[in-house]
Structure 1
Amino acid sequence: MLQKTRGIALSYIRYRETSIIARVYTEEFGLQSYIVNSVRTARSKNNKIALFQPLTLLDMVVYNKHDRELHRLSEIKTSHPFQSLPFEVSKSTIAMFVTEMLNKVLKEEASSPILFRFLVDSVLFLEEARTNYENFHLTFLLKLSFFLGFGPESAREFESQLRENSYPFLPDDEMDAALNSMLRQPYGTAIRISRSARNELLDALVAYYQIHIDSIGEVKSLPVLREVLG
């Protein structure tokens, strides 16, 4: 049965000689995997494989069958062509990290329109921001944690949970203020935090996710993110 849905591209792997299997978080069906044929050839029209780059916002018509793990696409296009996110090193590095984390925490389950709307709004902010996005990945993880059911109410609660799980996190007053601001303020809020403190908080946030989600494991994009943004 053909159905329309919006989606957010997360990742893809090669499949056979010319095709891919793409993972997409959809508004209507949650996390889904789609076989996309004939996109890895010189004759592929319109460079369709670019539609599956990290965080691309999609409009799709899909063949959806509840008893299948792999689905097929009938039509696909981007709903918001990117002008900066894939082309600016800092933004593309953030996108790589965000998609890796989403691939780890999102499950094949019923859709969540509220979560989908949050993700779309987050992607659009990152695409359109010209300043004050250097803390986006930190703020994103904090805000996403509420949708996943373990969001901390304050910096003190965040620190307490880490200490209870033997993670050595001892922030100073500046980091406490930055954490509380990220929890309570929207994206784009100017937040004072040093490069070293940003790295320390990033590691603490990944550890916080690992405490709550056993399957997180190693986050391979972390070294690049630390180097580019800190």
Structure 2
Amino acid sequence: MVTSTSAIVLSKIRYKDNDIIAKLYTKEYGAISFIVKGRQNSKKNKIKFVYFQELTILEIQFNYNSKRDLQYIKDIEIKHNYMSSHSDLVKASVIIFLSEVLSNIITHQKTETQLYNYIEQSLIWYDTNKFNTYFHMIFLLELTRYLGFYPDTLNNNFKYFNLEEGAYEKLKTSKYSITGGSLNLLNQILGIKFDSNPLPTLNSDDKMEVLNIILVYYKLHNNNFKPIKSLEIVK
């Protein structure tokens, strides 16, 4: 069955000598892996490896076969041409980081239109606006709304926030309960938007602390969440 869908590139790996396996997050089917044949010098080959840079937004046609682990793309085009996300080195480092996180958590063939739309719209906003140093933190916190574990902000005047339970508490009940400076940093990011004005004014150490808190939060709510190798490049 030939189907058309929007898709976002999550990752790619080399396969054999000339091919790649690309994992795409499709709007219609969720996460699907495709084998993309090489021979990139062939003028007849319309499917170029350049289409599969991290978080590129595509329109694809393919013959969907539920019995195959790897699908084959029939036709492809860029849906949104990035103006800065791949060419600006600082922006590109965030794209690489987010692609690894998303590839880590989006693993199932399941249609989740709201989740897909949030990711696509956020990536376009990031590309078409000037660099926002808090984008990846805001993006990941807002993403939890669609993943089902957004923090419960009721009682946000309480002294502790339990990362394991995703809720504020009066007393410390877990080794994953944060308080003091760490909680203050999280509170400054939680709930703000990409275009909030003014944005917080955190130094680089504070930003990294917030990001590490967010990644711990993801790990606690997703058993398959792996350490993020590209974390170093967003410091």
Query: For the superposition of Structure 1 and Structure 2, which TM-score range results when normalised by the shorter chain?
Result: 0.7 to 0.9
Q: Which amino acid aligns with 1:179?
A: I
Aligned position for 1:194: 203
- Structure 1 alignment gaps of length 5 or more: none
Q: Superposition pairs for residues 58-207 of structure 1, below 5 Å?
A: 58-131=58-131, 133-154=132-153, 156=156, 159-161=161-163, 164-167=173-176, 169-172=178-181, 175-180=185-190, 183=191, 185-189=192-196, 190-192=198-200, 193-207=202-216
Q: Which has the higher helix share?
A: 1
Whether contact under 8 Å (2:140, 2:214) holds in the other structure is yes
- TM-score, normalization by structure 1: 0.88
Whether contact under 8 Å (1:9, 1:56) holds in the other structure is yes
Aligned length: 221
Give the percent of matched residue pairs that are identical in Structure 1 and Structure 2. 24
Counterpart-to-counterpart distance in 2, 1:96 and 1:164: 36
Aligned position for 1:52: 52
Report the CA distance between 1:29 and its aligned residue.
0.6
Report the CA distance between 1:164 and its aligned residue.
4.7
Aligned position for 2:168: none
Q: Select the residue among 215, 220, 223 that pairs with 1:214.
A: 223
Whether contact under 8 Å (1:7, 1:57) holds in the other structure is yes
Counterpart-to-counterpart distance in 2, 1:81 and 1:52: 12
- 1:22-79 alpha-carbon deviations (Å, 9 max, x no partner): 000001110000111125x444657811111011000001110112211000000101
Q: Which amino acid aligns with 1:51?
A: Y
Bigger mean CA deviation after superposition, 59-68 or 148-157: 148-157
- 1:136-191 alpha-carbon deviations (Å, 9 max, x no partner): 110011011111111103394982225654236334385254133xx2x3212242
1:225 partnered with 2:229: no
Whether contact under 8 Å (1:63, 1:73) holds in the other structure is yes
- Structure 2 alignment gaps of length 5 or more: 165-171
Q: Which amino acid aligns with 1:100?
A: E
Counterpart-to-counterpart distance in 2, 1:168 and 1:154: 15
- TM-score, normalization by structure 2: 0.86
Structure 1 residues 134 and 94, CA gap change in structure 2 (3 angstroms)? same
Report the CA distance between 1:123 and its aligned residue.
0.5
Counterpart-to-counterpart distance in 1, 2:92 and 2:62: 28
Counterpart-to-counterpart distance in 2, 1:165 and 1:7: 39
Counterpart-to-counterpart distance in 2, 1:4 and 1:47: 15
